[in-house]
């Protein structure tokens, strides 16, 4: 993408009268956990310049509460609320449909939108920002990534002067809860059931454990941090389900633990991105994150590494981000526009790898595996085999020196044809 | 500088014809480490809407470099630069005088100011903000606290919707360098000399090691996080010099290390604040910070703990914060105005304490000390005495259960009158 890039700045001097004259009238679309937390903060904290006037939800009578002001209108008619005199629509329904339609219609009619909808922003954010701009209103989505952690304002305001070359994050609280519980000895299926019972995971957990949720958030961070606009579907996520107790045990021997890491970095004109279970050094900030916490590490060319950590999900933390966006709208705080170019996403990283095998033991297996790796010029760093496992289902681990992901995949292609495997070999990137 | 063109793309938004169409003209006051880093980023990254036009410094010829655009005016006449047509003064001289005079005159004439001057903002921030407001210009100071870590934008934008009840931070890189080196076995005087040789500490290190620098930063954070305007001089800092190798050794036995911590929390209508060496649990985020890194932990009523960490000082990280503030000005991003009330500062915390004694041993010392503590109803948690020290200069440690700072000070008042002390007892708060 190229073209004329005219910078246009608004006048610096802003007369005092330009301040909010009347509070922004706010409609909440979707009165679930986050929606009711937003209402709770608006009612309890009464932030200046914000007034909750409408709540929309399907089957609204189930949702109605008694602690909001009496004049709040409760509605199950989205069209009526969109046609009302509200100034801002807070979209908390999630998903592409019908939320996308509501957001487009709100912006099209000049109403600003605050949303926590990572999927909508990851796929249609740029289009929606253009629509907002053309209608003289605003789209804000500070709650879409890492909930209560102000990483989006941090990128738009405090780090806009840097050039970010790399993003690493723990962006999905469900996966972090599952993996940090497994780190303490629990088994995957048991922890998943517990996460579902606690409301951290959906009945169908694919969106979380399959990496799709983290992928959407990573795409948004890539847009703001690496300044590239990508098709989120070009990022191939890997599920955490393949990781088992034995992997945590071997990881520990290697001075590591396992986390679902979403990461992206510049690779020439394009970018490389990955989402999936990853070995992280115990001394790395990524290993500090436990439970449902989120973390984002940005590597700036000038400022070095900046780490943000906190509660990435949950009603109240996400609601803080929503209310902060509403306050920014009320105070006329324009975001620093961060330009972006279209880029395609590669998956080529050059890092060490951990490969765990589960084999029906016979002589010559290690020789064959190491031959396949040597053929791709991949150097072995360590071979680990713990005692106490039966020979017909023997787990062991090979770690390799930094090599290109593509070379490793070719080697694994050959290794997979061997007749000894009791399970697919599991290869994980190692971050040092 | 290759790759700069990658970022140039059409703005996402369609420009409004009515807006001003020229870049902001920028004067840098003070061309030291940070000033030259700001110039470097402006020249290398060419952020949209920013143009370096003037550099002011005393004895400017020593400072002139050959890599800035030819039309930049180098001047040692502050009055002439203040009278010129620059839009923004970037004040990087530091200290109250004459920097304060330049900042006031710039704002008074309608020029916006971006500054990294924590002392000026801590003492006169509110007055200067009012002046800027009355003249229709802006004052930004994102670089004044924790350099490259976007904690000020985070508070103004992403966390404005929360109510922050507590601030804890490692705000002085020099102290953190000294204490983390001592943690690794170095002695105070040797590390201080190394810090001075590396340029981390001044010839007179009082401002840093005495806690005055961290105190000014804490006062700014209290204003934005706790929403109180305080007189920084009401915060009594404690110097790190009293801490010695034996304290790190005992701290380690207690599962802790020692950091210079600046902290403040609400205490009824007022606030409690402290700056000084503190025992922090090794599993606490505060213990993660090593070398010259900074860290800020904010506890929100709704969002829980948010941790920011990164390079708090140094030319490039601080310059990133300055350039980000300039971009926010160029994009017309108004800050969310955070209201504040005047408050007086107390020093009353209720936490466990570590007390280290150095005594000329004789029978009955522990009995006398514990009697003084018991008189104030302070419960002892542990008494630690490592072997291998001479009886005439015997160090030992008493830790006590959470008690009010005032009660402990009364007890220490009595304990100090004992004739056995070879050094002042050292009492440190313990954070768990």
Give dist(CA A298, CA A264) in Å, integer. Answer: 10
A161 vs B24, B41, B336: nearest CB: B41
Per CATH, the number for B4-10+18-140 is 3.40.50.720
Nearest to B163 among A45, A147, A152 (CB): A45
Q: For testing the chain A interface, which of B21, B149, B157, B281 should be mutated: the one with the most A CBs within 10 Å?
A: B157
The contacts of residue A18 (CB under 8 Å, 6+ apart) are A332
Cis amide bond preceding A98, omega within 30: yes
Q: Report pLDDT for A335.
A: 75
Nearest Cβ partner for B320 among A227, A300, A321: A300
CB B309 within 8 A of CB B294: yes
A157·B153 Cβ contact <8 A: yes
Tell me whether residues B304 and A321 touch, CB distance under 8 A.
no
* Best residue of A2, A9, A45 to probe chain B, by most B CBs closer than 10 Å: A9
How many Å lie between the alpha carbon of B41 and the closest alpha carbon of chain A? 8
CB contact under 8 A, B148 and A304: yes
Does domain A22-140 correspond to CATH entry 3.90.650.10?
A: no
By DSSP bridging, strand B341-342 and strand B228-229 are parallel
Contact B10/A16, CB-based, under 8 Å?
Answer: no
Contact B335 A331 (CB under 8 A): yes
User: Each residue of B340-375: pLDDT tens digit?
Assistant: 899 999 999 999 999 999 999 999 999 999 999 999
- To 5 degrees, how large is the angle CA B116–CA A306–CA A254? 150
Nearest Cα residue in chain A from B159: A324
Residue B397, token pair as written in the block = 């440690």
Give me the pLDDT at residue B21, please.
Answer: 56
Q: What is the per-residue pLDDT for A327?
A: 95
Alpha-helical runs (H) found in B109-154: 118-135, 151-153
pLDDT digits (tens, 9 = 90+) for B89-116: 999 999 999 999 999 999 999 999 999 9
What HEC string does chain A produce? CCCCCCCCECCCCCCHHHCCCCCEEEEEECCCHHHHHHHHHHHHHCCCCEEEEEEECCCHHHCCCCCCCCCCEEECCHHHHHHCCCCEEEECCCCCCCHHHHHHHHHHCCCEEEECCHHHHHHHHHHHHHHHHHCCCCEECCCCCCCCCCHHHHHHHHCCCCCEEEEEEECCHHHHHHHHHHHCCCCHHHHHHHHHHCCCCCCCCHHHHCCHHHHHHHHHHHHHHHCEECCHHHCCECCCCCCCHHHHHHHHHCCEEEEEEEEEEEECCEEEEEEEEEEEECCCHHHCCCCCEEEEEEEECCCEEEEEEEECCCHHHHHHHHHHHHHHHHCCECCCCCCCEECCEECCCEEEEEEEEEECCCCCHHHHHHHHHHHCCCCEEEEECCCCCCHHHEEEEEEEEEEEHHHHHHHHHHHHCCCCEEEEEEEEEEEC
Give percent of chain B with pLDDT exceeding 70: 95
Q: Do A310 and B305 touch (CB under 8 A)?
A: yes
Candidates B6, B19, B163; nearest CB to A9: B19
Identify all chain B residues contacting A335, using CB atoms and an 8 Å cutoff. Answer: 331, 333
Q: How far apart are the first and last CA of chain A?
A: 35
What distance in Å separates residue A332's CA from the closest CA in chain B?
A: 6
Distances (CA, A) of A321 to A223, B158, B223: 19, 6, 20
10-residue stretch averages of pLDDT, chain A, 432 residues long: 37 41 92 96 94 97 94 97 97 96 98 97 95 95 93 92 96 95 94 90 93 97 96 96 95 97 91 97 91 95 95 89 95 82 93 97 95 97 94 96 96 97 96 88
Give the mean model confidence (pLDDT) for residues B176-197. Answer: 94
B105 vs B109: CA distance, rounded Å: 6
Among B157, B159, B331, the residue with its CB nearest the CB of A9 is B331
The hierarchical CATH code for the domain A350-431 is 3.30.70.260
**Pairwise CB contact (< 8 Å): B324 & A336:** yes
Active-site residue numbers of B? 217
The CATH homologous superfamily of the domain defined by B351-431:
ACT domain (3.30.70.260)
Q: Does domain B151-312+335-346 have CATH number 3.40.50.720?
A: no
pTM > 0.90: yes
Residue contact B307–A309, C-beta within 8 A? yes
Residue B312: closest CA among chain A residues belongs to which residue? A303
Helix (H, G, I), strand (E, B) or coil at B130: helix
DSSP state letter for B339 = P
* Distance from the first to the final alpha carbon of chain B: 47
Residue of A nearest to B49 (CA): A7
Q: Do the domains B351-431 and B151-312+335-346 match in fold?
A: no
pLDDT band of residue B338 (cuts 50, 70, 90) is confident
Query: How many CB pairs below 8 A link A and B?
Result: 295
In whole angstroms, what is the distance from residue B2 CA to residue A409 CA? 32
Residue B364 tokens, joined: 């009955």
Cis peptide leading into residue B98 (ω within 30°): yes
> The tokens of A417 are what?
């044809």
- Return the bridge partners of A423, or none: A358
Which pair of tokens denotes residue B215? 């105190």
Which residue of A112, A139, A150 to mutate against B (max B Cβ within 10 Å)?
A: A150
**Residue-level pLDDT at B317:** 94
Mind listing the pLDDT tens digit for each residue in B109-153?
999 999 999 999 999 999 999 999 999 999 999 999 998 899 999
Which residues on chain A are in Cβ contact (under 8 Å) with B149? 158, 306
| CB contacts, 8 Å: B45 with chain A | 161, 163
Please determine, for residue B257, whether its predicted confidence score (pLDDT) is greater than 90: yes
Longest CA pairwise span in chain A (Å): 83
| Domain residue spans of chain B | 4-10+18-140, 151-312+335-346, 351-431
Please say whether the structural domain A151-311+337-346 has been given the CATH code 3.30.360.10. yes
Contacts of B150 in chain A (CB under 8 A): 150, 153-154, 157-159, 306
Task: Please report residues of B whose CB lies closer than 8 A to that of A48.
Answer: 339
pLDDT band at B229 (very low <50, low <70, confident <90, very high): very high
* Residue of A111, A217, A342, A404 marked active site: A217
Return the bridge partners of B382, or none. B399
Helix, strand or coil, per DSSP, at residue B260: strand
Length of chain A: 432
Q: Which DSSP symbol is given to B199? A: T
Token pair, residue A95, equals: 């998903």
Cβ density class B359-390: b for 16+ within 10 Å, e for less = beeeeebeeebbebbeebebeeeeeeeeeeee
Do A302 and B37 count as a contact with CB atoms less than 8 A apart? yes
């Amino acid at each position: 993408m190229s073209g004329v890039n005219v910078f246009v700045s608004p006048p610096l001097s802003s007369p005092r009268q330009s301040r909010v004259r009347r509070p922004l009238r706010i409609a909440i679309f979707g009165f679930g956990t986050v929606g009711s937390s937003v209402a709770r903060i608006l009612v309890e904290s009464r932030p200046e310049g914000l007034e909750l006037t409408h709540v929309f939800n399907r089957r609204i009578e189930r949702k109605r509460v008694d602690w909001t002001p009496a004049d709040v209108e409760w509605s199950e008619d989205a069209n009526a609320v969109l046609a009302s005199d509200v100034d801002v629509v807070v979209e908390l329904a999630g998903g592409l449909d019908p939320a996308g339609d509501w957001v487009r219609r709100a912006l099209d009619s000049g109403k600003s939108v605050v949303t926590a909808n990572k999927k909508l922003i990851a796929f249609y954010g740029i289009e929606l920002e253009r629509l907002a701009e053309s209608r003289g209103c605003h789209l804000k989505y500070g709650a879409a990534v890492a909930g209560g952690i102000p990483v989006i304002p941090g990128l738009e305001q405090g780090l806009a002067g840097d050039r970010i070359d790399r993003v690493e994050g723990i962006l999905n609280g469900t996966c972090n809860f599952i993996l940090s519980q497994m780190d303490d000895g629990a088994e995957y299926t048991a922890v998943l059931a517990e996460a579902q019972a606690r409301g951290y995971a959906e009945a169908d957990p694919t969106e979380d454990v399959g990496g799709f949720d983290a992928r959407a958030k990573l795409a948004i961070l890539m847009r703001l941090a690496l300044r590239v606009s990508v098709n989120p579907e070009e990022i191939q996520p890997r599920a955490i389900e393949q990781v088992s107790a034995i992997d945590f045990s071997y990881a520990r021997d290697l001075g590591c633990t396992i986390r679902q890491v979403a990461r992206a970095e510049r690779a020439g004109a394009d970018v490389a991105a990955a989402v999936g279970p990853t070995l992280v050094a115990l001394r790395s900030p990524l290993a500090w994150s436990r439970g449902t916490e989120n973390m984002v590490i940005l590597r700036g060319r000038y400022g070095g590494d900046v780490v943000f950590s906190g509660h990435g999900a949950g009603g109240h933390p996400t609601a803080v981000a929503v209310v902060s966006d509403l306050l920014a709208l009320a105070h006329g705080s324009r975001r620093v526009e961060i330009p972006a170019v279209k880029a395609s996403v590669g998956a080529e990283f050059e890092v060490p790898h951990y490969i765990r095998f589960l084999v029906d033991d016979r002589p010559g297996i290690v020789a064959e595996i190491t031959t396949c790796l040597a053929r791709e010029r991949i150097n072995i760093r360590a071979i680990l085999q713990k005692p106490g496992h039966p020979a017909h289902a023997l787990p062991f681990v090979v770690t390799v020196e930094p090599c290109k992901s593509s070379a490793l995949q070719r080697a694994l292609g050959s290794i997979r044809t061997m007749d000894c495997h009791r399970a697919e070999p599991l290869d994980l990137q190692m971050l040092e």
